[in-house]
Chains A and B, each alone.
Chain A
Amino acid sequence: MSASLLINPTAMEAGLMAAAKARAAGPGQAAALKAFARTGLPHRRMEGWKWTDLRQALRAELPPADGEAAVIAPSSFSGVDAFEITIMNGAAEWPDDAPEGLSVRLVEGGGPAPAVARDHPTGNLAVAMCDRIVELRIGKTVARPIHLRRIAGGGASHSRVAVIVEEGAGATLIESYDGAGRYFANSLTEIDLGRGARLTRDILQDGSDDGVEAALCAGALAEGAAFHQLALLLGGKTVRMETRLALEGAQAEVDFRGASILSGARHADLTTHVAHHAPGSTTRQLHKSVLRERARGVFQGKFLVARGAQKTDAQMQARALLLSEAAEVDHKPELEIYADDVQCAHGAAAGALDADALFYMRQRGLDEKTARALLVEAFLGEIFDRPERVNIAEILRRRMRCWLESAP
């Protein structure tokens, strides 16, 4: 197959490619750069990027970020006793008191893209741009949460993290994506869950109005592994939070819960792809969006069930609440099923606040803003009802309430 090179790269794309080429890159990085050179930044005419056009968002060139980002407000998770790894514009730092069961190191020389992310434009870009991988190896269950605190500002940056959870071990990974001013933050997080391993991933994306974020998580699950993701997205200029999982072993378990709460002209795209390759796995997904002013929310979820993945049980639900006429949501739930003995379903719905409920509450004495906030919170509530992870769910709930209070 002959691959054509990008004919008219934008200034940003040309800059990114020149920067990648200038590195003393290993074969994995060279291959990734070659792949990126064919596609460039993803744009609306590409499959899966119709509503999230990174090329357009990065029309004006951003220089590489140089170290320090602008001053960032304290992390929403500052009250959590977590082992914090800071990734400031791509540069990682962590204290040397890693909790028992966890080892952290920098793997020099990059390495090839993980299989799940090989044809992915921002995944390839991260591989091409990163000479180092921050590797988190979890040999036995780590009780203390691990906080990956990503901070971006003042330019373009790329980072690559690998999380390996060995057989039977487990960990909680908190990921915050903060940013200030104009930036492009591109990240690739690779997850490898061994047999019976468990990983909980709690995400708070809380960027700036002008921030562009492309976060790809690519994971593989062995038999009996469990992956739970809870994500709260506040969006930015253009934000893509994508998770692609390959369930390679049988009886794996995936649970995705997420909420996008967007205001102003913000955009956020939550995209997931779960490939069931082995029998008896379960995936549960619920995503809710609340959009006000001119905000735009995107949800794309796909379950692929291979021929051998009998007894797969996969359910997907996406719901959106549009609080203004100009807000927009795009839902794309997809099933692609090759096995015949499976239970798979998806549903998507979008609507406005219930006017009857609003009037009822106002008749009881609540002013309009309070009544609306209570109804929005009721809509989102189940996303944060995580009795097994009260602390973190409550932090996300508080952030959500802050957002509600900021309503005009």
Chain B
Amino acid sequence: MLKIDNLHVAVGGAEILRGATLEVPAGEVHAVMGPNGSGKSTLSFALAGREGYEVTQGTALFDGEDLLALDPNERAARGLFLSFQHPLEIPGVATMNFIRTALNAQRKARGEEEVSAADFLRRIREKARLVGLSDDKLKRPFNVGFSGGEKKRMEMLQMALFEPRFAIMDETDSGLDIDALKMVGDVVNALRDGRRGFLVITHYQRLLEHIRPDRVHVLAAGRIVKSGGADLAHELERAGYEQFIEAA
């Protein structure tokens, strides 16, 4: 489903990813773990198409299509969702209007019918309940005045609503309490239907208690240096990343 091969990405002239190779087949959840500065966020931004993340070598195919040739919104319309590590506040932009416009833009790009206002309202309220955000929060400008945890819940709300075919979750667990981690697990597990893929980027294995990964990869110094089963996360938690930093 997502096939990354020898990906090199430079940011501001500095090479951060140095030949990352990774494949996530449909239906699987892969975790990417790694020390600070190993290139985890660079990987997620490069895949989502952020300006300033220059791919200097390598490929990323999404269902066989060259992902890197698409605009960020085209990638979103193909079903690629990035849950941001640091979701931002957008003052003056009404939350519901923004999310509905985005949802319909994606649907339109896929040749699907737009969602009516009433249908949208029903759906977003249902998802807000699922992620633990009050209706009142939906009436505010986007994320304005939200706590870090609430911003992460807003990311999960959008993920649940957009039902992406492939989700990259960049440290969604950071800053979340135990109940919220469980909620994130619930959102992901509800979407696991054998056809979607997930790339879960994290420092800790605690989120993986709720989302059991099929594979775990260690990213160090811009490369995948080790891959294994779910047990690898436990091993990392125990032994740390030092061995990989040295190896890289």
Q: Is the CB of A360 within 8 A of B90?
A: yes
Mark each residue of chain A from 336 to 380: 1 if its CB lies under 8 Å from any CB of chain B, else 0.
Answer: 000000000000000000111101111111111011001101110
**Contact across chains for B92 and A361 when beta carbons are under 8 A apart:** no
Provide the B72-94 mask, 1 if CB < 8 A to any CB of A, else 0.
11011100011010011011110
Q: Which of B50, B76, B84, B88 contacts A365 (CB 8 A)?
A: B76
Cβ contact within 8 Å between A357 and B73: no
Question: Counting CB contacts under 8 A, is B109 at the interface?
Answer: yes
A100 at interface by CB-CB < 8 Å:
no
Contact B93 A359 (CB under 8 A): no
- Asked if B103 is at the interface (CB within 8 A of a chain A CB), the reply is yes
Instruction: Specify which chain A residues have a CB less than 8 angstroms from the CB of B141 in the assembled complex.
Output: 378
Q: Which residues of A contact B51 (CB under 8 A)?
A: 355, 359
Contact B76–A364 (Cβ < 8 Å): yes
A66 at the interface (CB under 8 A from B): no
A368–B98 CA distance with the chains assembled, in angstroms: 14
Contact A357 B88 (CB under 8 A): yes
Q: Which residues 355-408 of A sit at the B interface, judged by CB distance below 8 A?
A: 355-357, 359-368, 370-371, 374-375, 377-379, 381-382
Residues of B within 8 A of A374 (CB): 93, 98, 101
Q: Which residues of B contact A375 (CB under 8 A)?
A: 90, 93
| Beta-carbon contact of B88 and A362 below 8 Å | no
* Pairwise interchain contact B92-A381, C-beta atoms closer than 8 A: yes
B114 to chain A, nearest CB (A): 12
Residue tally, chain A, CB below 8 Å to B: 23
B205 at the interface (CB under 8 A from A): no
Interface footprint category on B: 20 to 34
- B90/A362 in contact, CB under 8 A: no
B158: interface (CB < 8 Å): yes
Q: Nearest Cβ distance between residue A370 and chain B, in whole angstroms?
A: 7
Is B73 touching A356 in the complex (CB atoms < 8 A)?
no
- Indicate the member of A356, A364, A371 with the most B CB atoms within 10 Å: A364
B90 A359 Cβ-Cβ under 8 A = no
Could you say which residues of chain B place their CB within 8 Å of the CB of A355? Answer: 51
Determine how close the nearest CB of chain A comes to the CB of B140; give it in whole angstroms. Answer: 13
Complex contact B102–A361 (CB within 8 A): yes
With contacts A355-B51, A359-B51, A359-B72 taken as known, whether A364 is within 8 angstroms of B92 at the C-beta atoms is no
In whole Å, how far is A312's beta carbon from the nearest beta carbon of chain B? 30
Asked if residues A359 and B105 are in contact (CB atoms below 8 Å), the reply is no
Quick check: A364 and B158 within 8 Å, CB to CB? yes
Q: Which 4 A-B pairs have the closest CB atoms?
A: A378-B92, A365-B106, A364-B102, A362-B72
Interface residues of A (CB under 8 A from B): 354-357, 359-368, 370-371, 374-375, 377-379, 381-382
| 12 A-B residue pairs with CB within 8 Å | A359-B50, A362-B49, A363-B76, A365-B73, A365-B77, A365-B105, A367-B105, A368-B73, A370-B105, A378-B91, A378-B93, A378-B141
